[in-house]
C-alpha cells in the first residue's frame, strides 16, 4: 500500500464492514471518561456513516450531550497477526437525521433492524466525517482529511439505488448468487444485493457481508446496467 492508495483503503474498509466500535464521551463525568460500544453501521455514497441508535443507550445519551464521536472500522478479522491488517478511525460529529433515503440504505444493509427501527425510542444518526486515521499495517499510518477521502459520485445513482437493488434481487437472483460465488469466492445459497454505489456492490447472506468492487467507478446511474451485465459474463466465464 502506497500513500496514494490510503484513501482507497479507507473507502474499502468503511464500505466492506457492517459494524464498528463507537467512542463517545460520557456526560456528567468530571474526568470526561470515554465510552466505547459496538454499533451496526452503513455508509452513504459519500461515505457518511449511518447509525440506528436507541435513546436508552449510553452512547446515545453521550451524543445528545456532545456530538463528537469516533468510529473504529476494524479490517483485521481472521489475520494470524492482526496488527499487520488495516483499521481506520473515523472522527466526526453525529447528528440525528430524518432523511428517508439514509434510513432505507441502512435497512437494506441490515434488514433485521426493520423489526425495531420504527420503535419510538430508536432514531437514525449520520456522522459528518472530519478526518480519518488509517493504520494500514506496520509503518503505514497517517491522517486523511475529508476532502482527500471523498469518493467518486455517480449522477442519479443514490436515487436509483433502491430500484436497482430490488430489480436484481427479484428478477436476477441467479446473477447475484454468481457474483458471490464466482467473483468473491463466497459459499452458501441465497445471497442478496443490499446496495450499489459508484465503486461497487454490497451483498449479504444472513450474518455475512461481502463487497464486490468495480474495475472503474460509475459516472452515472445509467451505467449500472452495463456493468452488472458485464459482471455476470465474467462470473460465467469463471465457471
- C-alpha torsion sign, points 93, 97, 99, 101: positive
Closest CA to 18 of 45, 37, 38: 38
Q: How far is CA 222 from CA 40, 46, 179, 235, in A?
A: 31, 19, 20, 22
CA 196 to chain centre: 11
Burial of 76 (C-beta count, 10 Å sphere; 0-12/13-18/19+): middle
C-alpha cell, 123: 432514531
pLDDT in tens, 148-207: 999 999 999 999 999 999 999 999 999 999 999 999 999 999 999 999 999 999 999 999
Q: Say if residue 104's pLDDT is above 70.
A: yes
User: How confident is the model at residue 70, as a pLDDT?
Assistant: 98
Report pTM.
0.94
Q: Quote the DSSP letter at residue 86.
A: -
pLDDT in tens, 2-18: 556 899 999 999 999 99
Walk me through the domains of the chain, giving residue ranges and CATH numbers: 3-149 (2.30.110.10), 157-237 (3.20.180.10)
CA dist., res. 98 & res. 44, Å (int): 14
- What's the chain's length in residues? 239
Amino acid at each position: 500500500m502506497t500513500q496514494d492508495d490510503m484513501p482507497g483503503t479507507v473507502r474499502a474498509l468503511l464500505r466492506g464492514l457492517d459494524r464498528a466500535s463507537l467512542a463517545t464521551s460520557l456526560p456528567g463525568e468530571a474526568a470526561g471518561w470515554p465510552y466505547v460500544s459496538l454499533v451496526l453501521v452503513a455508509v452513504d455514497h459519500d461515505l457518511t456513516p449511518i447509525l440506528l441508535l436507541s435513546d436508552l443507550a449510553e452512547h446515545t445519551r453521550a451524543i445528545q450531550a456532545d456530538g463528537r464521536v469516533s468510529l473504529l472500522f476494524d479490517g483485521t478479522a481472521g489475520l494470524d497477526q492482526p496488527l499487520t491488517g488495516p483499521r481506520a478511525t473515523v472522527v466526526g460529529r453525529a447528528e440525528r437525521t430524518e432523511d428517508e433515503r439514509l434510513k432505507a440504505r441502512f435497512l437494506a444493509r441490515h434488514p433485521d433492524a426493520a423489526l425495531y427501527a420504527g420503535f419510538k425510542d430508536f432514531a437514525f444518526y449520520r456522522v459528518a466525517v472530519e478526518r480519518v486515521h488509517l493504520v494500514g499495517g506496520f509503518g503505514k499510518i497517517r491522517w486523511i482529511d475529508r476532502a482527500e477521502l471523498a469518493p467518486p459520485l455517480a449522477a442519479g445513482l443514490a436515487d436509483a439505488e433502491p430500484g436497482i437493488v430490488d430489480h436484481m434481487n427479484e428478477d436476477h437472483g441467479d446473477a447475484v448468487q454468481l457474483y458471490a460465488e464466482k467473483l468473491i469466492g463466497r459459499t452458501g445459497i441465497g445471497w442478496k444485493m443490499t446496495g450499489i454505489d459508484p465503486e461497487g456492490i454490497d451483498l449479504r447472506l444472513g450474518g455475512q457481508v461481502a463487497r464486490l468492487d468495480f474495475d472503474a467507478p460509475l459516472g452515472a446511474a445509467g451505467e449500472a446496467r452495463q456493468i452488472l451485465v458485464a459482471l455476470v459474463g465474467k462470473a460465467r466465464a469463471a465457471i
